[in-house]
A and B are shown apart, each in its own frame.
Chain A
Amino acid sequence: MKHQEAKLILRTHRADGRYRPDDPLFADALAGADKDPVLAEWLAREHAVDAVVAHKLDGIQPPADLRQSILVGARASRLRRRGWRRPLWLAAAAALVIAATLPAVIRLRGPAAVDSTAFGEFSLAHLATAHEGHAGAPGALAIATALATAPRPLSTSVSLDVDQLRTVGCQRFDVFGREVFEICFEREGTWYHLYVMRGDARTRLARGTAPLVLEHDGAAAAVWASADTVYSLVTRSGASALRTLL
């Protein structure tokens, strides 16, 4: 085997000798290096450079929050799949219930005016009658993670952009003639659901005031407005769980 040919083969050889492919060419090239001190010296230098590059690569640390994001995202996906395993009749019944109850709960029909009570009652009704588990599109998981760690009170620290929620694939509903987005997140062992919509001239919500809290059948919702966005934070764990975040 020629010197140059042996170099070409040995360039892919690992210093520790592990994981060699079952290829006699490696054995021939290594045998050549045993007999050729120049080639052996070159191979030792190659291995040394490889070790340095591998060490540099090994020293790169992932972002501090990546592990937690992965675990939160995967948990959300598993819960979502459990939700989809529910019998079809249950899903159909849930759809019928929400269709029947929403007009009464919301009180306001059509793409008309919306107030805090209506938005809060919608989010409570949706969570109670039609929720399919803690859904989370991959792109939405970063937002869920941010909400899980956002400083308190969320009513002042959270600022979401409706256009971004649409882009990343958050769960979307058409209610009040508007788009409403939902993000599910877990915080200190409790699941929360944040419903978000864009405010406009017809959303009668006072900005900058304390959140309005509604309770129904053990669940609770807190509604507030900030800039041009309206939020309803809901949990099945009651008003006390909400107040820890607000």
Chain B
Amino acid sequence: MPDDVFTGLVDAHYASLYRFALSLARSAADAADLTQQTFFIWATKGASLRDAQKAKTWLFTTLYREFIRTRRREGRVSSIEDLPPGDQDPPDLNAEDVARLDTQVVMDALQEIDPAFRAPLTLFYLKDLSYQEIAEILDVPIGTVMSRLSRGKAHLRAALERRMQGARVIEFPRTHAR
């Protein structure tokens, strides 16, 4: 693959891949390593991919697999059955309240969710991937993606609500000095 084509591929996807990696790895250094490793694998294997339009899905799939491989090595994989189901009717949030939260606070809330839900949720919010592409990246049926998205969003709403409550100023009743 010519250098300019590879550079174009990096420019098109590295920021989104980094954001996905950051939501998974929860550390900027690990996210950068994951992103770099993904392109390193592309340079050694992925360049032979014939369908150039599949490059984006290939990169996200590779990053996710690398993350899962690392977690397995560290023995930090939980079974989806062990996870809480998510509130059927999560808190109804106001967009303006969420907008007032720092980006880092929103990211913390997202990172609090188990990776099984966090991965489809982040891909959903990155916006440039279809549901079908998310299913391919995570290697699960599309119905599973929808189910995990719904549960993941319920978890995220609850996590955001907790942070908003924590951020609210609690006004103590005034006492009058005698």
Interface residues of A (CB under 8 A from B): 4, 7-9, 11-12, 14, 18-21, 23, 42, 45, 48-63, 66-67, 69-71, 73-75, 77-78, 81, 138, 141-142
The answer to whether A61 and B40 have CB atoms under 8 Å apart is no
Which A-B residue pairs are the 3 nearest by beta carbons?
A: A48-B95, A74-B43, A19-B130
Report A41 CB to chain B, min CB distance, Å: 10
Among A14, A63, A74, find the residue whose CB has the most chain B CB atoms closer than 10 A: A74
**A-side interface mostly:** helix
Given the contacts A11-B153, A19-B130, A74-B43, A50 and B125 also touching, CB distance less than 8 Å: yes
Contacting chain A: which of B3-11, B49-57, B73-81, B167-175?
B3-11
Interface size bracket, B side: 35 or more
Report A186 CB to chain B, min CB distance, Å: 13
Q: Which of B37, B98, B149 contacts A53 (CB 8 A)?
A: B98
The answer to whether B130 and A70 have CB atoms under 8 Å apart is no
**B-side interface mostly:** helix
Report A40 CB to chain B, min CB distance, Å: 14
The answer to whether B127 and A73 have CB atoms under 8 Å apart is no
In the assembled complex, 26 residue pairs joining A and B whose CB atoms fall closer than 8 Å, in A order, are A8-B88, A8-B150, A11-B149, A11-B150, A11-B154, A12-B124, A12-B150, A14-B124, A21-B131, A21-B142, A49-B157, A51-B95, A52-B98, A54-B127, A55-B99, A57-B19, A60-B103, A62-B19, A63-B32, A66-B32, A66-B35, A70-B39, A71-B6, A74-B42, A77-B44, A141-B36
Given the contacts A54-B127, A57-B122, A63-B28, A74 and B40 also touching, CB distance less than 8 Å: yes
B67: CB under 8 A from chain A? Answer: no
- Which chain A residue lies CB-closest to B109? A53
- Which chain B residue lies CB-closest to A18? B130
Among A23, A50, A55, A70, find the residue whose CB has the most chain B CB atoms closer than 10 A: A70
Number of A-B contacts (CB under 8 A): 127
- Which chain A residue lies CB-closest to B157? A49
The answer to whether B22 and A71 have CB atoms under 8 Å apart is no
Fill in one digit per residue for B19-32: 1 if any A CB lies within 8 Å of its CB, else 0.
10011000010001
- Which chain B residue lies CB-closest to A137? B40
Q: Which of B10, B101, B156 contacts A71 (CB 8 A)?
A: B10
The answer to whether A67 and B22 have CB atoms under 8 Å apart is no
- Which chain B residue lies CB-closest to A16? B127
Residues of A within 8 A of B140 (CB): none
Residues of A within 8 A of B92 (CB): 42, 45
- Cα–Cα, bound, A60→B153 (Å): 20
- Cα–Cα, bound, A42→B90 (Å): 12
Given the contacts A19-B130, A50-B125, A77-B44, A69 and B36 also touching, CB distance less than 8 Å: yes
Given the contacts A42-B92, A45-B92, A49-B98, A70 and B125 also touching, CB distance less than 8 Å: no
- Cα–Cα, bound, A67→B33 (Å): 12
Residues of A within 8 A of B19 (CB): 57-58, 60, 62
- Which chain A residue lies CB-closest to B148? A12
- Cα–Cα, bound, A18→B128 (Å): 10
- Cα–Cα, bound, A141→B19 (Å): 21
The answer to whether B40 and A138 have CB atoms under 8 Å apart is yes
Residues of B within 8 A of A48 (CB): 95
The answer to whether A73 and B32 have CB atoms under 8 Å apart is no
Report A214 CB to chain B, min CB distance, Å: 33
Given the contacts A48-B95, A70-B14, A12 and B149 also touching, CB distance less than 8 Å: yes
Q: Which of A53, A55, A81, A142 contacts B156 (CB 8 A)?
A: A53
Given the contacts A51-B95, A66-B14, A66-B36, A78 and B149 also touching, CB distance less than 8 Å: no
Residues of A within 8 A of B32 (CB): 62-63, 66, 69
